[in-house]
Amino acid sequence: MTETAWNRLPAEALRALAAQDAIVLLPVASTEQHGPHLPTGVDDFLCSEVCRRTAAQLAPDCPAVVAPTVWCGLADHHVAFGGTFTLSLATYYAVLRDLCRSIQKAGFKRIVIVNGHGGNIQALGTFVGELTRELDAPIAATTYFMEGHSAMAEILEDQQGVMHACEAETSMMMAAHPQLVNADRLAEAHGPSFNILGSLVPALKRFHSFAELTPSGVAGDARRASADKGEKLLTACASALAARLRAGEPWAAPQAAS
């Protein structure tokens, strides 16, 4: 199997991939509480896994490299539960700018920031414009569970997509890292539903700690999670992203509205 992890490849191999115009996937995530049954590294582990699977699907006709995952993001809303790292907005932008610049300096031209944390979504939507302007490069960004949203809705039983430490995330962890799921605490792993898509709609709102929304730290219900669902969810997200990248969508000319 072709190696796609940046940090497992020698510099010579990376120079050769840059010369082939390989796509660099830069996973960005978070380290934060995920309820009583999951580790704090869920977003890191799952985003890394989806990127690995995406790169494997793209090979060999569309070479891709998976950069080391940025394990810290914007997670102020989880701090009340403990176990959480978070960055300021300015620091987060500076980190991503310098990482993208490093990827450029290594000779790569196509960079896709792949996000695995809901709290990063709004900032990344703004950052891509600034990064494109500052680095003079068409940097793209997406969130893996948004790419696979429609397929995920057909797999899940109690929700339409990812919430937090929920049926979806717990299932994917059961498939990718089963040893890190505490099955003895699954009975406690439920809370009110949370609509990530709705939270992104511009409207009158203010900051809320997650502790105000759910005493368990869970949004959704993990009790129906399974490794079988998780495998299907991971495959669906990676397949959706790989299909768009193979088609060259992030770099195609925008279509005029009809």
Which CATH number belongs to the domain containing residue 121 in this structure? Answer: 3.40.50.10310
Distance CA 146, CA 152 (A): 9
Distance CA 25, CA 241 (A): 11
Reported as a pLDDT band with limits 50, 70 and 90, residue 258 is low
Instruction: Count how many domains the chain has.
Output: 1
Q: Is the pLDDT of residue 38 over 90?
A: yes
54: which residues sit within 8 A by CB, 6+ positions away? 25, 64, 114, 238, 241, 242, 245
125-144 b/e with 16+ CB inside 10 Å = b? eebbeebeeeeebebbbbbb
Average pLDDT of span 91-110? 98
User: Is residue 142 in a domain?
Assistant: yes
Q: Which phi and psi angles does 237 have, rounded to 5°?
A: -70, -45
User: Is residue 128 in a domain?
Assistant: yes
Helical (H) or strand (E) element with 64: strand 64-66
User: Is residue 223 in a domain?
Assistant: yes
Distance of CA 123 to the CA centre of its chain: 14
User: Is residue 248 in a domain?
Assistant: no
User: Is residue 249 in a domain?
Assistant: no
User: Is residue 92 in a domain?
Assistant: yes
Q: What is the DSSP secondary structure assignment for residue 165, as one 8-state letter?
A: S
Whole-prediction pTM: 0.95
Percent residues over pLDDT 70 in the chain: 98
**189: helix, coil or strand?**
coil
Say what the pLDDT of residue 256 is: 61
Reported as a pLDDT band with limits 50, 70 and 90, residue 232 is very high
Domain coverage including residue 143: 6-243
Say what the pLDDT of residue 76 is: 96
Spatial CA neighbour of 121 closest among 75, 168, 177: 75
